[in-house]
Structures are given as C-alpha cells and as structure tokens.
C-alpha cells in the first residue's frame, strides 16, 4: 500500500525538514511548489502507474494560488486527507479551511516530528496505516463510574476514532477531540472555555468561536448516519452538552 505524502510548499527548507521527518518515519515524501502541480498529481490519470498520495501537507500561501483554493478544487474529485500549513493565526482562515474539507491545521513554526505524528493519527483513522489491535474499548471506560453512557456511541481511543450507531465517523483531529470531550461528560454542559482548554490547549491563539464551527461540522457528520437525532445540545450563553441517553 502506498505511503506517499505530498508536500505542497514553496519554501524549500521547510519542505526538506518535513521530507526528512517523513522518511525517518517510513513514509515516501513527494514535493511540489505550486498548487496546479499538486492538483495535477492528485487527479487520477488512466494508465498512470504511480501511486496517489495518501495525504497532502498543503501550505496556505502558495505562489500561484491560495492553498484554500487548492483544497476547494481538490474536494471536487478527491477526499484525500489534507493538513494545512500556515504562517497566519487568523481564525477566519482556519474556520474556512476546515469548512472546505481540511483535516487539520499546523501553524508555522512547527515541529516536523509533531506534524508526522498528526499525519499518522489521520491516516490511522482512515485505515491507511496499521492500527493498534482492537481493544473493544467503549466510552464506558472513559467516563466516571456511574455516569450514563451514550450507548449509540463507541470511543476507540487507541485508534482516535468514534463510532456512531456502529458507523465510524470521518473526523478531523479537533472534531474527534471535541466529541471525545463531550462523550466523557454526557449530560454535562461544557462551556466554550472548558472545551477550548480540553481540545485546543496546544493552540493558544485559537478563538472561542472555532468551537461553534466545529460543533456545526460535527452535527453535519452525525446527520449523515442518523438524520433524525441531534445528540449535541446548545445551551445559549452557557455552552454545549451531549445527551446521555
């Protein structure tokens, strides 16, 4: 199975450091500097024997077009996971990037080893890299004794996955952590500040309204499995909770 990761980055030094970390971890890096080059490589071509990349590390500020535009066009024909690299901490850009289909964000400067760790988590959820052995762990093991368990959910923490009505959810890193936080406190109202502390502790420049954007995207993904139920409750002026039943 291909383990090629496409790096779309116009700064050679940054691309080289990512490529080195990827090779050290067993991946095959491939580097281009322009968005059009990336789209050409990612579009399946009849007769092309070269394996398609399993993930894209995509810089937001490219010379020929915005990385946001690359992702928008990519999502018209591919669901390959995308991690954005950005030198800006503008919250609007982050929310837009997530809404058009990015799986994660990394703000420069960053640790290449941490980036590779995030890549592994995303690919493990997608079933591309080897998963840890099945443990059968459910959310009951993650909540305090005696707390009500949302039976329609199953948390597989070692895989960084959540199942809803038996169906695995295709979640970004922060969507997974947000849902995990709600699952661990069923029926409890968690404020935006509490959710920021639990989910975005490593991203101190993130604004609280990103919680709302991620709740919106989570709800949309839950509706693809069960359109009749919205288990995430909004408490105006307070925060969010997950139904315990």
171-216 confidence digits (pLDDT tens): 888 888 899 989 888 878 888 888 888 888 766 666 777 888 889 8
* pTM (2 d.p.): 0.55
User: Do residues 169 and 223 touch, judged by C-beta distance below 8 A?
Assistant: no
Q: What is the pLDDT of residues 161-179, one digit of tens each?
A: 888 888 888 888 888 889 9
CA pair distance 174, 202, nearest whole angstrom: 11
Beta-strand runs (E) in 33-156: 55-59, 82-86, 104-107, 153-156
As given in the structure block, the two tokens for residue 108 are: 């420069």
Alpha-carbon torsion, ordered 197, 131, 26, 10, to 10 deg? -40
pLDDT in tens, 82-114: 998 887 655 556 666 667 777 788 888 888 888
How far apart are the C-alpha atoms of 178 and 192, rounded to whole Å?
A: 11
């Amino acid at each position: 199975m291909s383990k090629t990761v496409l790096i779309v980055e116009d700064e050679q030094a940054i691309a080289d450091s990512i490529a080195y970390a990827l090779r050290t971890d067993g991946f095959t890096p491939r580097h281009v500097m322009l968005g059009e080059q990336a789209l050409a490589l990612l579009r399946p071509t009849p007769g092309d024997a070269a394996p398609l990349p399993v993930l894209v590390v995509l810089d937001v500020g490219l010379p020929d077009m915005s990385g946001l535009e690359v992702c928008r066009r990519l999502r018209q024909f591919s669901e390959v996971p995308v991690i954005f690299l950005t030198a800006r901490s503008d919250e609007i850009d982050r929310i837009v990037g997530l809404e058009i289909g990015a799986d994660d964000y990394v703000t420069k400067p960053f640790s290449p080893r941490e980036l590779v760790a995030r890549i592994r988590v995303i690919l493990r959820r997608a079933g591309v890299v080897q998963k840890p052995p099945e443990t059968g762990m459910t959310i009951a093991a993650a909540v305090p004794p005696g707390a009500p368990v949302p039976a329609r959910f199953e948390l597989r923490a070692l895989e960084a996955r959540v199942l809803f009505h038996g169906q695995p959810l295709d979640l970004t890193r922060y969507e997974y952590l947000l849902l995990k936080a709600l699952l661990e406190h069923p029926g409890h109202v968690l404020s935006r500040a509490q959710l920021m502390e639990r989910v975005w502790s490593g991203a101190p420049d993130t604004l609280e309204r990103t919680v709302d954007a991620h709740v919106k995207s989570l709800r949309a993904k839950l509706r693809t499995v069960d359109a009749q139920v919205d288990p995430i409750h909004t408490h105006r002026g307070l925060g969010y909770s997950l139904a315990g039943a």
